[in-house]
Amino acid sequence: MHGLIEPPTFEAAEAAEPGHGDAPATCWRPPRPTQPGPINELFRPGARVTDGYHPKMTVVEPRPVGTLHVPSGLLAVSGPDIDHGDGPRITVPVPPGKYVLDEARVRFSYHCEWRNAEVTTTDPTAVRLLVSETPAATWQMALGPDDDPRLFIEEQIAGFDTDGATGCFADAGAWEPLIALFERGLIQGEPDLDGYEDIDDGSMIMQRTWDEISGGELMAFATTGDGTYPVWIGRSKAGEVISVVVLLERMPELLPEQDGSPTEAAV
């Protein structure tokens, strides 16, 4: 508006080749949503990670926690405790079928103050619906119908919301009857309700509902608190869905491998 005090000067910057590292720090780039991290390693026994509180955690064998029937070919991942007048928060197309659910787990030691001793424990880190045994080549954050990554701020997440520390995998084709059974069984506490059961096997899976007409199922799992949980879709090199993962906490950081570490988790 007022004119330049002195002529502007421009410096040439070397742009990075596509797929060959980040652009120079002097180049502007748009904000990026949160990145997936090493999700495959959470299910690889022997991998070493840290959550920032425990300096060394070792991944142990994933624990199978059930199966989920998705006859409609559309998987729903959502919080069953939120008002879902518009349907599930996240949907992922998968081939119709029955899929294994499992938990990623880590083993670590810490000093227990009230015991005044070193204690070793095993905790879950993620819940996964497994479509194929092949490790995922890429991971992407699933988006809801109103999510626009162009409007995200740096490290923003999208996902499902919960105010009851609960998430679920379900058949989206039978979403309404499955959620109705969940509410009648858990929230209203109807005794001996057909199509609903509580699960108490020590896993993160807590409730199961099933629709007798379609055969679709819902499996509800515990999260570590209220809030928004991103849903990660693992895909093959050809773009096929390999697995769908929900992290129960923030993504751990991968530690360097050590000789003999792959066998530590098997002990």
Q: What is the pLDDT of residues 172-207, one digit of tens each?
A: 999 999 999 999 998 888 888 999 999 998 899 999
The residues pairing with 7 across neighbouring beta strands, listed in sequence order, are none
Q: Is the pLDDT of residue 236 over 60?
A: yes
Backbone angles phi, psi at 46, to 5 degrees: 100, -20
Please give the structure tokens belonging to residue 73. Answer: 């070919």
219-223, 226-230, 245-249, 263-267: the lowest-pLDDT one? 263-267
pTM of the model: 0.84
pLDDT in the model for residue 13? 67
Sorted by where each begins, the domain ranges of the chain are: 40-264
pLDDT in the model for residue 262? 46
pLDDT in the model for residue 247? 94
Query: Which amino acid, residue 215?
Result: G
> CA-CA distance, 33 to 228, in Å (whole number)?
14
Q: Is the pLDDT of residue 255 over 70?
A: yes
pLDDT in the model for residue 207? 95
Kindly state the average pLDDT of the residues 19-44: 81
Dihedral over alpha carbons 146, 151, 154, 160 (to 10 degrees): -10
Q: Is the pLDDT of residue 266 over 60?
A: no
Q: What is the mean pLDDT of the chain?
A: 88
> CA-CA distance, 100 to 132, in Å (whole number)?
10
Q: Is the pLDDT of residue 1 over 70?
A: no
pLDDT in the model for residue 3? 78
Q: What is the pLDDT of residues 90-137, one digit of tens each?
A: 999 999 999 999 999 999 998 888 888 888 889 999 999 999 999 999
> CA-CA distance, 221 to 202, in Å (whole number)?
11
pLDDT in the model for residue 259? 57
